Amino acid sequence: MAKTPLKLIESGEQAVVINAQDKFVCTAMINPHTLIAGRVISRREGNFLSEKLLKKRLLLARSLRDRLYDKPFYRMVYGDSDAFPGLVIDRFDDSYIVQISTSGMEQFKGVIVDCLHNSLGAERVIIKNDGKMREVEGLDSGVELSGPSIERLRVVENGTTMHCDPLGGQKTGWFYDHRENRQWARKLAKGKRVLDLYSYVGGWGVQMLDAGASEVTFVDASESAIEMARENAESVGGADVPARFMQGDARAVLHQLLEANEKFDMVIVDPPALIPRRKDVPPGERAYQKINELALRLVDASSADGGVLVSASCSMHLPAERLQLLCNQAARKNDRLLRQLFAGTQGADHPVLPSVPETRYLDCFGFQVLQPY
């Protein structure tokens, strides 16, 4: 077998990878211009990604989710975990949103769309290729629609019906990864005053309202996200829903609420990734500690039951035990005691490959917040 210099391989081409002893390792999609030069397609010799294999893997991915969830709202394809390096597909009933982030998978874009329509019954497929990794891979950005146009997509999560913006929203428009964590938080929301930081379109806060929260305050920097959160809250609680909406930077709004001497029974902290790269760990950890420190100052810990802090991180470079420690340090600065009630991660529709630790990125803790003994 002839050895091929990496620079002679076209971006996105599939190749056989062998080790120094000329032993087969895998077949992979190659991009000689990126730091991750090869992405595994198969560990079976002679197995290359084809239209037939792609269709088989898509059907397997959907079959797993249909076993996990009783309604057709979930992440159907989660990249490497479903043997599709650089491909994400979220399902919203008969609508599918596709994101492609590698040059190898880009070559199968048409096949993916056809398969979703013809084999999985999709009414519409939205190709939303606006992720940062596309530029690294040398790919253009843009949005394409196959099927009838739509401005809002319906989402049903934990029994609550909401909507998202598939075209103008972040990523695929929704974040399914916190489904199980939100389900846990619903148990403690009834009759409580809730603050939802980084609320986006209300995935957390609207479900707390639906679970019986007495009031929810939504905070997000995006005007369009806040308006969508308002729509979702009103769809659950009507025009007089006990909710308020504050647009602005989360830390600035926290200071504003502190100056007004406000208190909440539950505060939810679910920021975007504050540690996008390994080199960002030190400032990112300080940012996580600071936002939780400010949030804890707003938690009412005066009752016998105390308050609740829900703190999450989607930073792959922040291990769960570090987030736990940062929250505890924030509590000590506020003279508060934390008792961990819950530890969660990404939902089962975002399966983790133990051999690829990068597929695990989400952590969520639920703490009871008490005054010190």
Query: What positions carry a catalytic annotation?
Result: 314
d(CA 58, CA 65): 11
What is the token pair recorded at 367? 């703490």
Closest CA to 281 of 249, 320, 315, 250: 315
The stretches of the chain forming alpha helices (DSSP H) are 51-68, 103-106, 109-118, 132-136, 179-186, 205-210, 223-237, 250-259, 281-297, 320-333
What is the token pair recorded at 105? 């998978």
What is the token pair recorded at 262? 């406000």
Closest CA to 79 of 68, 70, 90: 90
Total length of the chain: 373
Closest CA to 297 of 245, 332, 342, 321: 332
Q: What is the dihedral of CA 80, 83, 86, 91, to 10 degrees?
A: -100
Three-class SS of residue 240?
Answer: coil
